[in-house]
Amino acid sequence: MEAPLKTIAVLTSGGDAPGMNAAIRAVVRAGIDKGYRVVGIKRGYSGLLEEDFVEMTSKSVSDIIQKGGTILYTARCEEFMTKEGQDLGAQICKKNKFDAVVVIGGDGSFKGALELARRGVGVVGIPGTIDLDIACSEYTIGFDTAVNTAMEAIDKVRDTSASHERCNIIEVMGRSAGHIALWCAIATGAEDVLVPERYDYDESRIIEQIINKRKIGKKHHVIINAEGIGHSQSMAKRIETATGVETRATLLGYVQRGGSPTCRDRLYASAMGTKAVDLIEEGKIGTVVAVHDGKYVSFPIEEALSMQKDIDEYLFDMSRRLSRVVK
Ligand code: ADP
Ligand code: F6P
């Protein structure tokens, strides 16, 4: 009698990110190629607890590489934050003979994966979040698509900002990290950028900048504000009162999480998904796939979660230098 195939389960969890489908496809195709059976778990840890599984075939991941969102759906699962939920999750993995569970998601999802690992489940994490806030990795799936979507939207707001000679605050996503804000600010030539990693809550500097730039004839003033700072609406009101310059706030919101992934996201997702299968094959479970010095590597999940990531100081300083306008 032939030995049953080893099984890899794959799920997406937390905020969706363009490129997650490409990562699912890579796990499925690379897994099948290595002789594994691949099972999809729907709606992240919620689907795990409900045993909502789907058999994955090479064919079932056809025609998804170009699609945003995640065909496996995603969720934020409160029950999995509890010890009981985590015990049950691990039990279900063992009962269903999952040799490895590939978790595509952000920091929170990795914390969940660590709980499974502590209970003897083989896990491999793939960084999937638009926020670029996974400390062990230089890249996270979805970031490139998100910043490009945001950049295009900001360019549009800038047109109307100039026509109306207004100040426009544009709030971008990123949870408590300012990477999206910083990249967008540099790429759109924004007049100012506020990131949680460097924000001192001193609005007098922002106000002074607007007044000075008006004096030298600047017609528009675009401020990129990171979600981690927030309060864009009330900030706009205070700025308008202090400067006399009409000020509006725009929250870009979920548009940043959708859309067809860029080439970069498709490529990284494909490589990370394949790397996850290679790690499983090598027995390197309890790990997270990462990009380090441009290479695909892995870190033990616990170590990955203990790492800290700061904003890129050089980029931050550069954004300030390049937005300085002197007469
Ligand atoms: P992301 O993975 O994008 O950071 P969340 O932080 O919302 O998104 O986490 C996604 C899910 O991962 C949560 O809904 C929960 O089910 C699980 N999770 C988050 N933090 C933990 C934790 N500390 N322990 C166990 N599971 C967690
Ligand atoms: O992690 C991705 C992200 O879009 C963050 O930028 C944002 O803070 C969060 O998810 C929003 O989550 P939700 O979908 O629960 O509103």
- Joined together, the tokens standing for residue 84 give 């009981």
**Catalytic site residue 192?**
no
User: Which of the residues in the chain have pLDDT under 50?
Assistant: none
Q: Do the beta carbons of residue 87 and residue 49 sit within 8 Å?
A: no
Cβ neighbours of residue 149 closer than 8 Å, sequence gap 6 or more? 255, 256, 258, 259
Residue 191 beta carbon below 6 angstroms from any ligand 2 atom:
no
The single residue listed with the structure tokens 């109307």 is: 160
What is the position in ligand 1's atom list of the atom closest to the CA of 45?
Answer: 16
Instruction: Render pLDDT for 161-177 as a digit per residue (tens, 0 to 9).
Output: 999 999 999 999 999 99
Residue 80 beta carbon below 6 angstroms from any ligand 1 atom:
yes
Give the CA radius of gyration of the chain: 22
Spatial distance between the Cα atoms of 227 and 179, rounded to a whole number of angstroms = 11
| Three-class secondary structure of residue 209 per DSSP | helix
Q: Do the beta carbons of residue 199 and residue 278 sit within 8 Å?
A: no
Q: Whose CA is nearest to atom 11 of ligand 2?
A: 15
User: Which 8-state DSSP code applies to residue 289?
Assistant: E
Pocket test for ligand 1, best of 80, 84, 115, 119 (most atoms within 8 A of CB): 80
Spatial distance between the Cα atoms of 225 and 198, rounded to a whole number of angstroms = 12
What is the position in ligand 1's atom list of the atom closest to the CA of 115?
Answer: 25
The ligand with the least distance to the CA atom of 227 is 2
Residue 160's pLDDT is what? 94
Q: Whose CA is nearest to atom 27 of ligand 1?
A: 112
Beta bridge partners of 82: none
Residue 1's pLDDT is what? 62
Q: Whose CA is nearest to atom 8 of ligand 2?
A: 175
Pocket test for ligand 2, best of 175, 195, 256 (most atoms within 8 A of CB): 175
Greatest Cα-to-Cα distance within the chain, rounded to the nearest angstrom? 83
Q: 131, 133, 144, 192: which one is catalytic?
A: 131
Residue 34's pLDDT is what? 97
Residue 325's pLDDT is what? 76
Spatial distance between the Cα atoms of 62 and 72, rounded to a whole number of angstroms = 14
User: Which 8-state DSSP code applies to residue 250?
Assistant: E
Q: Do the beta carbons of residue 249 and residue 236 sit within 8 Å?
A: yes
Residue 293's pLDDT is what? 96
